[in-house]
Amino acid sequence: MRKVYTAATAAADVEAVFRLLEGRWKLVILFHLFGGQVQRFSDLEKLIPGISQKMLAQQLRQLEADGIVERKQYPQVPPKVEYRMTEWGQALCPALDSLLKWSEEKNMNKEDVIQKNMNRVGES
Amino acid sequence: MRKVYTAATAAADVEAVFRLLEGRWKLVILFHLFGGQVQRFSDLEKLIPGISQKMLAQQLRQLEADGIVERKQYPQVPPKVEYRMTEWGQALCPALDSLLKWSEEKNMNKEDVIQKNMNRVGES
DNA sequence: CAGTATCCTTAAAGATACTG
DNA sequence: CAGTATCTTTAAGGATACTG
């Protein structure tokens, strides 16, 4: 059974999702973890040019607190910490992909867009 | 043919989509227009408690500039202006719905989430 | 009715330096 | 290696008043 939404509640719930992902660096981090990669803190630092340690740590903390990524710390010196997607976080990937599909439709002609979305009705 | 993405470009493109929608009031406005409703400026003002004229006008301008909503002005006094979704804007609705589906999965158990996303593979 | 124009507040992000 | 702590900058949004 799907939840039932009014305009206000649908907007509020989508905004809640946005707030989970809105950080300046969260999406890059996620796309480096989608696909099952396991990355250390320093790996992500290298993969994401321009990010500061402060921001990387902050965004990871939030993603972890929100249940989107998982943090695994190995008790050794020097420290070793790994990050990976949670099951639920991984499920975000196809949802973001539908946003990418939409943005790709921008310069399609009307008939194509209508066609695409008629196909999409069959999904549910 | 789908566009090909790296982690960086996928993140950048999703961020671009977010920027289109991120305004404090944009989503509420959109959900009041999804479904084909045509709303006047004053209708939206009544439908969205707490919004100021400044913010309503600003968000509508941006949505219009981005090709998501359409503005139709009738040359009469007092003025009459109507807003509706564009074809492309309307196509955003199923994409946002997949975000809602994802957020609804939050408290499902592992097997359900895996199952849901295995089903989802069949879409493309 | 459908907007502008100004001024003000405040969170998010950046720069930089330091540490178990 | 994997972070904190602190200070500064900036842009989004709110309050309020005015208008063709």
Smallest CA-to-CA distance from A32 within A18, A53, A47, A42 is with: A47
Determine the nucleotide nearest to B50 by Cα–C1' distance: D14
A41 CB less than 7 Å from any atom of strand D: yes
Q: What pLDDT, on the 0 to 100 scale, is given for residue A107?
A: 81
Between A102 and B118, name the one with better pLDDT.
Answer: A102
Pair of tokens at residue A89: 């976080």
Integer angstrom CA distances of residue B9 from A13, B38, B57, B111: 26, 35, 32, 31
Please give the pLDDT value at position B42: 98
More confident call, B68 vs A122: B68
pLDDT at A119 over 70: no
- B3-34 pLDDT, tens per residue? 999 999 999 999 999 999 999 999 999 999 99
Question: Residues for chain A: how many in total?
Answer: 124
B9 touches strand C (CB under 7 A): no
Residue B73 pLDDT level (bands cut at 50, 70, 90): very high
| Confidence grade of residue A117 (pLDDT, cut at 50, 70, 90) | low
Amino acid, res. B83: Y
Q: Quick one: pLDDT at residue A124? A: 37
> Which residue shows structure tokens 């099951």?
A87
Q: Which residues of chain A lie closer than 8 angstroms to B67, CB-CB?
A: 106
What is d(CA A73, CA B20) in angstroms, rounded to the nearest whole number? 37
Mean pLDDT computed over B29-55? 98
List all residues 6 or more positions away from B29 whose beta carbon is below 8 Å from its beta carbon: B44, B48, B56, B59, B60, B63, B69, B83
More confident residue, B110 or A50: A50
Compute the distance between CA of residue B101 and CA of residue A124 in angstroms, rounded to an integer.
Answer: 11
Q: Decide if pLDDT at B35 tops 80.
A: yes
Which residues of chain A lie closer than 8 angstroms to B95, CB-CB? 98-99, 101-102
Cβ separation B31–A11 shorter than 8 A: yes
Question: For A53 and C16, how far is CA from C1' in angstroms?
Answer: 12
CB-based contacts of B106-115 (< 8 A; 24+ apart in sequence): B106/A67, B106/A88, B110/A87, B113/A87, B113/A88, B113/A91, B114/A87
Neighbours of B75 (CB within 10 A): 6
How many helices and strands in chain B, by DSSP H and E?
7, 3
Residue with tokens 């400044």: B54
Higher pLDDT, B85 or A114: B85
Question: Which chain B positions have a beta carbon within 8 Å of A16's beta carbon?
Answer: 103
pTM value?
A: 0.92
Of B11, B17, B98, the CB nearest to A103: B17
What is the pLDDT of chain B when averaged over all its residues? Answer: 92
Instruction: Report the amino acid identity of residue A113.
Output: V
Q: Residue B1's pLDDT is what?
A: 84
The pLDDT assigned to B17 comes to 98
Nearest Cβ partner of B102 from A27, A95, A123? A95
